[in-house]
Structure 1
Amino acid sequence: MKYEYMKESEQMLQYFQFPKFLLKLRISQTAKFLYMILYDRARISRKNSWIDKYGNVYLIFPIEELSVQIDKCKSSVKTALKELDDVGLLVRRSGGFSKPNHLYVKIPSDEIGLQTVDDKAV
């Protein structure tokens, strides 16, 4: 891969948002990285109106795809998902018989309302 200097006129690269509160949590780097990926996907789900009957945004992201996305084995992904479950940042609910689980990314209460985002404007 070839790299170049950033110029004033260059367009921004695509990037993920890394929430600052994750720095304070005692979870693995894999779990932090996975949260960042899931948070990004949840924002896309919100844009696409993947909302349950309670008004909560959910996403579907199979473990195999997560494994490829973060370049980790499936067991590492499962361990990181459990870590996120254990600290309360992720809820997994059955999507129904023979359907994938719905994943709900949670946000700490003190982070909500700090900055409103209009994803539809993007």
Structure 2
Amino acid sequence: MAFDYFYGDQADLFSFYRIPKLLFTDPRFRNLSTESKTLYGILLDRMSLSARNGWRDEDGRVYIIFTVEEIRESLSCGNKKAISLLDELENKVNLIERKRQGLGKPNLIYVKNFCSVDFPVERHFLKCQNDTSGNVKTTPTEVSKAHCNNTDINDTEMIDTDSFLSSDWEGWETDELQDRASYERYFRQQFNMEFLLRQYPYEEDVLNEMLNLVVDTVCSKRKTIRIASDDKPLEVVKSVFMKLDREHISFVLDSMKENTTLVRNMKQYLLAALYNAPMTINSHYSSLVQHHMATGQI
């Protein structure tokens, strides 16, 4: 089978599973097989879908349903191998927890959160280096007008200002402020802020506002965060924000430039745009593929 080469920005048209670098760099996971690390990335991908669909137990914990058959199909492996990989993730490193439902129903799978307070490697995760590509990627410019305003904000003139940015810091102790500093370092690396500031030299204020907004959100003491007139559970918003990267920030920034609607509440606009970026960016790339196919570029 002969495959073609990549041209221009075509490499950006794919969707990717995210496997935390910590699984490859931390000694605690050194004996974890590559297949189980890959499976963990697939389970993380399903977690975001479960969170959006509201799959939570009575304690508010997000769970997924991912059967052995689905694992076999995803990894092209046998039944014994699929079961072995689940056992490895659960019993060897405690990265997942399975809960039996009985009566022939599939198990519920809880994917353990690297950023939870009780997880022993949280601080290392926040401080670890993240891979950043040395290749300069130019954000595609064929952004349709209809897509650029796709931030799930129907009313950009709303005046409800979420006060968590100012009130949540009262009474914070030194350890909590140190945690916030760790999150800020993590997101600076995740967003590759130095590259973004070079790519958008006249947007420094907006970039810093987005960085501070993301850090303030994940460190908030509130139980819910207002996103486009809808109160989302903090842990759901936090899980989305922890996956944001440089491409998402570039996407939001470029979409803002194309937006012709008056925005009176910039913080709420940015919150919604950042929260929806992982979903809308995939729609954007799909539209690009269709555009290239229609014009004979693919």
Corresponding residue of 2:95 = 89
Does structure 1 residue 44 correspond to structure 2 residue 45? no
Superposition pairs of residues 1-122 of structure 1, within 5 angstroms: 2-8=3-9, 11-23=12-24, 24=26, 25=29, 26-86=31-91, 87-108=93-114, 109=119, 110=122, 111=125, 116=238, 117-118=240-241, 121=276, 122=279
TM-score (norm. length: structure 2)? 0.38
Q: Displacement of 1:21 after TM fit?
A: 1.3
Identify which range, 7-16 or 33-42, moves more after superposition.
7-16
Q: Displacement of 1:100 after TM fit?
A: 0.9
Write out per-residue CA displacement over residues 81-102 of structure 1, whole angstroms, 9 at most, x where no aligned residue. 1110111101000124221110
Distance 1:79 1:10, change over 3 A: closer
2:62 is matched by which residue type in structure 1?
V
Q: Displacement of 1:47 after TM fit?
A: 1.0
Q: Displacement of 1:72 after TM fit?
A: 1.1
Please report the RMSD computed on the Cα atoms of aligned residues, expressed in angstroms. Answer: 2.2
Distance 1:73 1:51, change over 3 A: same
Q: Displacement of 1:4 after TM fit?
A: 2.5
Corresponding residue of 2:250 = none
Write out per-residue CA displacement over residues 2-24 of structure 1, whole angstroms, 9 at most, x where no aligned residue. 22324147643111111011113
Mapped partners of 2:15, 2:101: distance in 1: 31
Mapped partners of 2:83, 2:11: distance in 1: 38
2:8 is matched by which residue type in structure 1?
K
Give the secondary structure class of the aligned counterpart of 1:44.
Answer: helix
Write out per-residue CA displacement over residues 14-48 of structure 1, whole angstroms, 9 at most, x where no aligned residue. 11111011113121111111111111111111111
**Which stretches in structure 1 are left out of the alignment for 5+ residues?**
none
**Relative contact order (C-alpha < 8 Å, sep 6+): which is higher?**
1
Give the secondary structure class of the aligned counterpart of 1:47.
Answer: helix
Q: Is the 8 A contact 1:47 1:120 kept in 2?
A: no
Mapped partners of 2:94, 2:11: distance in 1: 39
TM-score (norm. length: structure 1)? 0.86
Distance 1:51 1:11, change over 3 A: same
Identify which range, 108-117 or 47-56, moves more after superposition.
108-117
Write out per-residue CA displacement over residues 42-67 of structure 1, whole angstroms, 9 at most, x where no aligned residue. 11111111111111110111101110
Number of aligned positions between the proteins: 122
Question: Greater CA radius of gyration, 1 or 2?
Answer: 2
Percent identity between matched residues is 30
Distance 1:120 1:47, change over 3 A: farther
Mapped partners of 2:60, 2:77: distance in 1: 32
Give the secondary structure class of the aligned counterpart of 2:105.
Answer: coil
